[in-house]
Each structure stands twice: as structure tokens, then as C-alpha cells.
Amino acid sequence: MSLLRILSLDQPRARSFCPRLRIKDLREKWRLESIEPELVVCLGATAAQSLMGLSFRITKERGNFFPHHWAKQLVATVHPSAILRAPEKYEEEYELFVRDLRVIAGRVKELDVTG
């Protein structure tokens, strides 16, 4: 199984990022199709919408696994910085984020990743 960590899309700010215009660049740059990962984890709406389309809503679909043509499974959760930007909801959002990560960790264990 291939594990892939994408650190940056070389964008100065995520808010100026346009998923529709950069989807081809993402595919060419990271070669997700050729890597064929078992699981892709999207952190944040920008990453999720880049792969799942602009109708994807992180608030409704977070923590759910979907088949995808670039990976056997794709899952999305909020970006950690989003939790910090909403101090009035910090406790609730943090708990949901940790829950999502536990679900993802469980799925990785099911995939029997051996390095």
C-alpha cells in the first residue's frame, strides 16, 4: 500500500485556491492515478472539493468513506486550522475531529498497512 502525504499545493493562501482550475495540475503533479493509494485523507473543504467536486460539503460528509477513481477510498475531515478559527465551538469541533481521526486510523488498521 502506498501512503502519500501532500504538504502543499504551492498556493500562497488556501482561500485563493480554485479547485476547478487546479484539479488537472494536482493530478499531474502528484500522479495519484499512477500511485493508486488505498486511502486518501483530505484535510479541509478545499482539498475535499478538489477531488470530490464543488458540491461536496465537509460539514455533511466528514468521516464518511467514498470510492474514488484515484484511490480505493477517500475520506475528508475539517482542516485543523478551522477548529482554531472558531473558538466558540472549539471543544465540539475538536471532539469531532478526533473522532474522525480515530475512524480513519481504524480503517488504516483494517487495510493492514505494513510499512
Mean pLDDT of 73-78: 94
pLDDT value of position 52: 87
5, 73 contact by CB (below 8 A): no
Residue 5 has pLDDT above 90, yes or no: no
Class level of CATH domain 37-110: alpha beta
What is the rounded distance in angstroms from the CA atom of residue 6 to the CA atom of residue 104? 17
Please state, for a pLDDT cut of 90, what percent of the chain lies above it: 43
- Per mean pLDDT, which range of 1-5, 43-47, 103-107 is the poorest? 1-5
What is the rounded distance in angstroms from the CA atom of residue 27 to the CA atom of residue 46? 15
Which triple of cell numbers denotes residue 81?
486550522
Pick from 69, 80, 94, 96: nearest CA to 42: 80
Sole residue written with cell 475528508 = 76
